[in-house]
Amino acid sequence: MGNEPTLNKKKRQLPHIFIILFGIIVVCTILTWIIPAGEFDRVENEAGRMVAVAGTWHEIDASPVGPFKMFQSVYDGMCDAAGVSFFVFISFASTAFVTKSGAFDGLVVFLMKVFKGNSALAVIPIFMALFGLGSSTVGMFEEWLPFIPIFASIFIGLGYDAVVGLAVVALGAGMGYSGAAMNPFTVGVAQGIAEVQYMSDIGFRVVCHIIMLAVASFFVMRYAAKVKKDPTKSLVYGDDFSSLLSGNKDLSEVQFGIRQKLVLLDLLAAIVALVYGTKTYGWYFSELSAVFLIMGIIAAIIMGFNLSKIGEVFAKGFQEATTAALMIGIARGILMVLQNGNIIDTVVYGLSLPLESLPAGICAIAMLIMQTILNFFIPSGSGQAAVSMPIMAPMADILGLSRDTAVLAYQFGDGLSNIVWPTAFAAIMAGLAGVKVEKWWRFIFPIFGVIIVVQAILMVVAVSTGFGA
């Protein structure tokens, strides 16, 4: 009863992402009438990419964008971003066969049954790594949400609390996105816009994932041990979780048979093919989409889907990918306005001025901070990539950083803050675990701060080791 007034209050929330993106288009259109037009000289680098040359920015004739051209930029942006958008459509629909097969669900439940009744803290990093794997490879995030109440209740039963169960799922997924090796909806989109090879320097990203996962696991395990020793130390001590416990899902219904195992093998084979193809033959969106399609169809055959079922899953996958794909197109309209107004180089020049006299490592950290803040306003990974990478990629050129470093800053800033910012998934995840969001923030913010520092160090390491160069 005490929660009713809060539930009845009209929640303040950001406008729909399409409104935010179009609002940015309007602002950028106005800026073309205010900011001086200018451009950098460009040269072709060793990779065959045209890059801006530092210190060559100069003013050119103004070409402000008019109202009609502003609306036209939405269509132009969608056409210009067609390659990336269709890759998102195909990869999302194809990976839906893996997620709908229940392969990851079955693996999680299988391990839960193996460790059930075992209160060893070792189960925490094992499950976090598993959730992270699904997020890093096929971009699972919302698919993990149903596991939050299950894990919350199980960890309560193991003598811990709901926060531990919530943290295992949330931090596992967050670290998976932050250290994603091949997530096609975040890293894939960002690399495509930044014009770098898909899955380039995958080894360092995997190392980053492992390091961040280890740090997060340490803090969750430390909190769990403290609660186990003294339940009064729990952040949710005294809270009622009876409804959560009584509504626990029957895990016996989840299958992990030969079909689900073969689907995971299919996924592994696709990952190997993607890595080999991009490294050896320079595959890009066309070839990558083909691999995802083959993987999805094989998964469908393994699961025994008939032709109608395969068509339905593809249709549903395309439908669910529509918002993300259209966000990319609308966000590309921002780039169209900046390019037509000839102010994108001026914006990059202005952003780089405070940083150009600083060490490259500090510049990389600044990019990380920018992306983390931006994720508060644009919590969509694909949308954030579409908005930020057209600016961050050339800024990396000017600051002497690799474009892969700019992508790394993006994925760090996008992944972790998704489970922290109120505009993203913090309140949803906490609610599913029966944990008040303010108590979740009391737990997660110190870890958030530590991992941001770890990410900053990794950014400096990336710069010092020539990551992506």
For each of the chain's 469 residues, which pLDDT tens digit applies?
Answer: 333 333 333 445 668 889 989 999 999 999 999 999 999 888 877 666 777 888 889 999 999 999 999 999 999 999 998 998 999 899 989 988 988 888 887 887 787 777 765 556 788 998 899 899 888 988 888 878 878 888 888 788 778 889 999 999 999 999 999 998 888 888 888 998 888 888 788 889 999 999 999 999 999 999 999 998 999 999 999 888 777 665 555 556 677 889 999 999 999 999 889 888 887 888 888 998 999 999 999 999 999 999 999 999 999 999 988 988 898 899 899 989 999 999 989 988 888 888 888 899 999 999 999 999 988 888 888 888 888 898 999 999 889 899 999 999 999 998 888 899 988 888 889 988 889 999 999 999 999 999 999 999 999 999 999 887 6
pLDDT digits (tens, 9 = 90+) for 377-435: 888 888 888 888 989 999 998 898 999 999 999 999 988 888 999 888 888 899 888 89
Other residues' Cβ atoms within 10 Å of the Cβ of residue 272:
10
Domain coordinates of the chain in residue numbers? 76-102+255-326
Identify the three-state secondary structure at position 42: strand
Distance CA 244, CA 224 (A): 19
* Beta-bridge mates of residue 39: 58
Supply the pLDDT for residue 75. Answer: 96
Q: For residues 69 and 340, is the Cβ–Cβ distance under 8 A?
A: yes
The candidate with the shortest Cα–Cα distance to 84, out of 343, 329, 333, is 329
Q: How far apart are CA 369 and CA 386, in angstroms?
A: 17
pLDDT of residue 415: 85
Q: Angle, to 10 degrees, between the axis of helix 437-464 and the axis of helix 202-229?
A: 150
pLDDT at 43: 84
pLDDT digits (tens, 9 = 90+) for 196-234: 888 788 889 999 999 999 999 999 999 999 998 999 999
> How much is the pLDDT for 266?
94
- Sequence-distant (6+) residues with CB within 8 A of 328 are 81, 84, 85, 88, 189, 382, 383, 385, 386
pLDDT of 367-386, one tens digit each? 999 999 988 888 888 888 88
Q: What share of the chain is helix, strand, coil (3-state, %, to 5)?
A: 70, 0, 25
Q: What is the pLDDT of residue 271?
A: 86
> How far does Cα 160 stand from its chain's mean position?
29
pLDDT, position 1: 34
Q: In the structure encoding, which two tokens stand for residue 125, read together?
A: 């990093």
pLDDT at residue number 10:
43
Q: Which residues contact 463 (CB under 8 A, 6 or more apart)?
A: 360, 361, 364, 401, 405
> What's the number of CA atoms in the CB half-sphere (13 Å) around residue 294?
13
Burial call 368-404: b when 16+ CB within 10 Å, e when fewer: bebbbebbeebbbbbbbbbbbbbbbbbbbbbbebbbb
pTM strictly above 0.85? no
Quote the DSSP letter at residue 425. Answer: T
Mean pLDDT over each residue of the chain, to the nearest integer: 87
Give the C-alpha separation, 45 to 25, whole Å. Answer: 31
Identity of the amino acid at 77: G
Interatomic CA distance for residues 372 and 455, integer angstroms: 11
Bridge partner list, 52: 42
122 CB-side CA count, 13 A: 7
Q: Are 346 and 57 in contact (CB under 8 A)?
A: yes
Find tokens 């952003």 and name the residue. Answer: 351
